[in-house]
A and B are shown apart, each in its own frame.
Chain A
Amino acid sequence: MAQTINMDAVPGGDPKKKALPSDSRYGWLKALWRNRKSRVGVIIFLVFVFIGILAPLIARYSPTSTNFGLLQPPSARHWFGTTGLGQDVWAQFVWGTRSSLIVGFGASVLSTILAVAIGMYPAYRGGRLDQTMATLTNIFMVIPGLPLMIVAAAYVHETNAFSMMLIIGLTGWAGRARVLRSQTLSMANREFVWAARLTGASNGRVLVREILPNMTSLFFASLMYGVLGAILAEAGLEFLGLGNLTGASWGSMLYWANNGGAVLNGAWWWLLPGGLAIAVFGMSLALINFGLDEVTNPRLRVVATMKPGRRRYGKLAGKGGSFDEA
């Protein structure tokens, strides 16, 4: 994935560097910080993580306490105002951050593990196992996810954070399994993998030592998309009243805002935080992935363009490499 990409653009670049991707296997981490977009993403992401971790210190009130005035607009006492039930919206947002992130990451870790087990491992082994798993993946790709989760959640009567993670994690792996599969297939045919095989390394060793390290950035992307998908799914389930609605989460804030008449009462402060938190957090993940994409796909990269002064006719991106392959 993360070869020394800059050499691609230079004809006659040192061929040895292409064959040894280990030089910069983790170079993408540095590149994430170098890329302006993904740096913004990383910062926003960390802010949310800190809000989640520090929830007990910064929430000021209990998210479930109903001791405050109803539908009060934002003030010094209630930064984000109060709900129709007299709860503090800031406290709900802060605690909701914690619980949404936990469910998001928990479900994403689970579904990423499934995606690896179903998409990647069989692809590496090949044969009938791979065929079966590929078909299974394709089926789960086309069966709509949210309805499936809704039905599953409706049968589990007492939903809590853990069952939520299970339901979302078990149903939301297919798309990423497919991406991992195709990447593994192309990776398994790279020269350095063949080289490792020819030196007599065992299958398992090749997978763990040669292929996995080169897919770290893809894992990372997969995990990130999983988190966003899981948070959106949780919010969706909670909007139907499935899930633990007594606790605070971004999704349950939206549920109560809808059912408590935030729209009718003009209580925008009640309506905004939950959805905005999801969208901004999702944006941070997408920005990080965006940077990751540009790192791993040289053609999407911002190529260094020449100083103006001389007319150029070239308008195509990063085309140097393939043009000079003799």
Chain B
Amino acid sequence: MRRDEVPILSVDHATVAYATREGMAKAVDDVTLSIFPGSIVGLVGESGSGKSTLAAALMCLLPSNASLLSGHVLLNGKDLYQMSEQHLRRIRWAQMSMVFQSAMATLNPVLTVGQQFREIFRIHEPRMTREDQQRRMEELLGTVRIHTQHLRNYSHELSGGMRQRIALAMAIALDPELVIMDEPTTALDAVVQHEILEEIRRIQQIKRFAVLFISHDLRLVRYISSEILVMYAGKIVESAPIDVFTETTRHHPYTRGLLDSIPQLRDEQPALHSIPGSTPGLTDLPVGCAFHPRCPYVQPPCLEAPPPLEGMESQLVACYEVDNIEGRRAHA
């Protein structure tokens, strides 16, 4: 994270909360992160950890019962939440676009793929002629390896993989510097999932846009990312470049749990560990470290106050006990 480059997107102590009958529910709690040009940042966490809310906050697409309570979201140095709606509409999708979890649900069922594609150009490049639009669409579909005849199709006529490729093509239509991908492969079966992942990698290498890749699946995130963020109950609990992340054994207990729950092919006896307990409800978060009720290494300080995200060099971990974990684990 400490580089000389200027980040495309930087999030500075952002807190997002939902208004509920029980009061405020902080879905994103004091999150800070930066995304640099050309990097692929992976964000991993269980469902309900706030990662999709974070994605919505970055795109300024929070639902009306949620809002950014504090902090800043800067895109190329400009605060998105200080912009006029007009300005925001112009730069969103042009500079930062998004691939949503389910392309089935993100394509409008009564409009053809072509109509929805054209809309992007109509809004953002109004001077483009119809022929230019057509040429550009064909080029983009070629990039994601979809036949141009599908422009005339409705979303229900396409397979899940095709829809997600089209969503990808739409996301890169205006050559954005950053593409946020919220569980882009979750709704797909394993084979197609792999194909799409490869596709993302290939296109990213050609176009060199940055990616925020959000998934609940650590394997996918590890496979594709150059940097990994682990989120739990609205907070980033660990962040590290991929090489450090893979080499070190020093992790947040939650990350440890995620790693242990991945089946190892080479294991003689595949022992699957899952983390006991479940994600806490956001309205009744435990005091102290939010993970402590599920943590096997819990110590008295963990019940007092949430641990800060800190560390040496490039790896940051939010855990008081991180340096003691390895030893005791070897013991056990």
Chain A positions within 8 Å of B, measured between CB atoms, are 6-7, 9-15, 303-306, 310-320, 323-326
Contact = CB atoms under 8 A, between A and B. Distances in A.
A317 B25 CA distance: 17
Residue from the set A303, A312, A323, A325 with the largest chain B CB neighbour count within 10 Å: A323
B81 A310 contact: yes
Contacts of A6: 20-22
A11 B65 contact: no
Contacts of A9: 18, 20, 65
Interface of B: 17-22, 25, 27, 45-53, 56, 60-69, 81-82, 85, 88, 101, 183, 186, 216, 233, 278-283
27 contacts: A6-B21, A9-B18, A10-B25, A10-B27, A10-B282, A11-B48, A11-B53, A11-B282, A12-B27, A12-B47, A12-B50, A12-B233, A12-B279, A13-B283, A304-B19, A304-B20, A306-B19, A312-B67, A313-B61, A314-B63, A316-B63, A318-B65, A324-B51, A325-B101, A326-B49, A326-B51, A326-B101
B48 A317 contact: no
Contacts of A310: 67-69, 81
Nearest to B17: A306
Contacts of A313: 60-62, 85, 88
B62 A326 contact: no
Contact of B64 (A12, A13, A312): A312
B281 A10 contact: yes
Contact of A305 (B51, B56, B64): B64
B282 A305 contact: no
Contacts, number: 116
Contacts of B22: 6
Contact of B18 (A317, A320, A326): A320
Given A12-B27, A13-B283, 20 more contacts: A9-B18, A9-B20, A10-B282, A11-B25, A11-B47, A11-B48, A12-B50, A304-B21, A305-B64, A306-B19, A306-B65, A314-B63, A316-B63, A318-B63, A318-B64, A319-B65, A320-B63, A323-B63, A326-B186, A326-B216
Nearest to B215: A326
A10 B18 contact: yes
A326 B62 CA distance: 16
B282 A320 contact: no
B53 A312 contact: no
A303 B27 contact: no
A314 B3 CA distance: 34
Contacts of B283: 10, 13
